[in-house]
Amino acid sequence: MRIAVIGTGVVGRTVAARLAELGHDVVVGTRDPSVTRERTQPDRFGTAFSTWLEKHAGLRLETFEAAAAHAELVVNATSGLVSLDALASAGAANLDGKILVDIANALDFSKGMPPAVRASSEESLAERIQTAFPGAHVVKTLNTMNAFLMVDPAQLAGGDHTVFLSGNDASAKARVSELLRSFGWRDIIDLGELSTARGTELLLPIWLSLMSALGIPPSNFQFKIVR
């Protein structure tokens, strides 16, 4: 499948690399490819973007707009505080009729750690994205865990933990579930309409508390629903 991953942070890089490994035609979107290519300093994960891109020769780096235009399916892996702006740069016409997988959380790091979680029980970021881009089929998923677990659940507890899915379009959710299964997910809970993303976005405060209380790396714990 032709996939655009909008975002060059650890989530965008991790998801893009895994999708390419699975044989998809993946373009990564960024505001200004020439500026992003110049990122030669390691980030907090120890990798410079330029080094990462060299190691993944199959991946192309384009503007948000060119990446989205290329794709059948678009992944939003931008900072949740600016996702609406980033997707507007991608262009509403380039999202029309496409599945838009939203992984973003609106975390505000301006006052340091832990970040403030800009989530609401009245409206999720995913719903705001859906309202802004009515032609897209928004599916919220993967936002409740660390980036490395998103694409490789088996690295924790043999993959015996849970990923949630919210969206208004059943066929879009079915396509996204297929992608999740290709990553190794087995326990996929479809919560229902996109409004259920309010709940998964509101899991972030407890997720952040767990990170602090458990004192273990964020890819070493995850939510599991027992029933």
Residue of the chain from 79, 162, 168, 182 that contacts ligand NAP (CB under 6 A): 79
The smaller minimum CB distance to ligand NAP, of residues 115 and 184, is found at: 115
SS3 207: helix
Q: Evaluate the CA torsion angle 101, 106, 110, 116 in order and state its sign.
A: negative
Rounding to the nearest 10 degrees, give the CA dihedral for residues 116, 29, 67, 119. 0
For position 105 contacting ligand NAP by CB under 6 A, the verdict is yes
Sequence-separated (6 or more) residues with CB below 8 Å from residue 206? none
H or E element: which one contains 149?
helix 147-151
For position 103 contacting ligand NAP by CB under 6 A, the verdict is yes
The smaller minimum CB distance to ligand NAP, of residues 22 and 82, is found at: 82
Residue 199 near residue 176 (C-beta atoms within 8 A):
no
**What's the min distance (Å) between Cβ of 110 and ligand NAP?**
12
Contact flags string 31-60 toward ligand NAP, x per CB under 6 A: x----x------------------------
Residue of the chain from 16, 59, 86, 172 that contacts ligand NAP (CB under 6 A): 86
The smaller minimum CB distance to ligand NAP, of residues 56 and 97, is found at: 56
Judged by CB under 6 A, the number of residues near ligand NAP is: 23
**From CA 161, how far away is CA 156, in angstroms rounded?**
8
What single DSSP character describes residue 32?
A: -
User: Considering only 1-9, 50-58, 158-166, 181-189, which stretch makes contact with ligand NAP by CB under 6 A?
Assistant: 1-9
User: Considering only 17-25, 97-105, 159-167, 192-200, which stretch makes contact with ligand NAP by CB under 6 A?
Assistant: 97-105
Residue 154 near residue 179 (C-beta atoms within 8 A):
no
